[in-house]
Amino acid sequence: MSHDQKEPAERQPFTPDELDRITSHLNSELRAIEQDMARVEQAGEYTVSGKAGKLATLGGKRSELFFWLFAVRCSVQTGLRLSDVASLEWRCFGEAGKIVVWMDKTNRRIEHKLSAELETLVTQIPVTSPIYLFPEQHQIISDVKRRSLLSVQFKRICERIGIFGKSFHCIRHTAASEKYREIDKDDLAKRLAENLSMSQIKQLLGHSSVSTSKSYVH
């Protein structure tokens, strides 16, 4: 490999338009799956076992799409990594109005405000595990031989709607950039000696060092 090929590529945040396109695509796919499930429920040509098998297949697709919808919206608002979203537990939502997460990579406790949107999405997740919101995705992310599968799935979703060269990790850069834009720049200028801006972003993303957070600000 050449020098340029070995150099790490700069991750670019998703634009608001790209995030809207991803969200709209996932919502559209979910509606189509739910319509298919309703048609199968009402159809008379299936045997009992055939209908159950068809519904199970469609249900699996719906669960996967809903995971991605939740993952995207959650990471946009909180900056959580894909592994952290896949490992969310019901206990993370035990405090009113908050998401409390122990970060998988840094083993740090992070609190985020629970938006009305995320609260609604959480109530729509079927309980299939007493511990995890998304047990299937948790199993995948916990298996070192399979964890890349989730990144591949997200890449395919993006490419399906014409977004290339971006990964789920780019959403963390989007969250960091939005947080930076929300900071009062006059106040920031007065307190630069305290490195306030990077400290705020560092806390938001759960980084162990400010230098790591700097790479997320665009």
Q: Per-residue pLDDT tens, the chain, 218 aa: give them.
A: 555 545 455 568 888 899 999 999 999 999 999 999 999 999 888 899 999 999 999 999 999 999 999 999 999 888 888 999 999 999 999 888 899 988 777 778 888 889 999 999 999 999 999 999 999 999 999 999 999 999 999 999 999 999 999 999 888 876 555 555 555 544 544 454 445 566 766 665 566 776 776 665 55
Show Cβ contacts of residue 12 under 8 Å, excluding neighbours closer than 6 positions: 165, 166, 170, 173, 218
Q: Determine, yes or no, domain membership for 20.
A: yes
Q: Residue 14 and residue 26: Cα distance in Å, rounded? A: 16
3-state secondary structure of 110: strand
Q: Determine, yes or no, domain membership for 2.
A: no
Predicted local confidence at residue 34, as pLDDT: 95
How many domains does the chain divide into?
A: 1
Q: Determine, yes or no, domain membership for 5.
A: no
Domain range for 52 is 12-214
Is residue 204 within 8 Å of residue 79, measured between CB atoms? yes
CATH of the domain at 185: 1.10.443.10
Predicted local confidence at residue 185, as pLDDT: 47
Q: Determine, yes or no, domain membership for 3.
A: no
Is residue 122 within 8 Å of residue 88, measured between CB atoms? no
Q: Determine, yes or no, domain membership for 115.
A: yes
Q: Which two tokens stand for residue 90?
A: 């019901």
Predicted local confidence at residue 188, as pLDDT: 45
Q: Determine, yes or no, domain membership for 88.
A: yes
Q: Determine, yes or no, domain membership for 7.
A: no
Q: Determine, yes or no, domain membership for 1.
A: no
What would you report as the CA-atom Rg of the chain, rounded to the nearest whole angstrom? 20
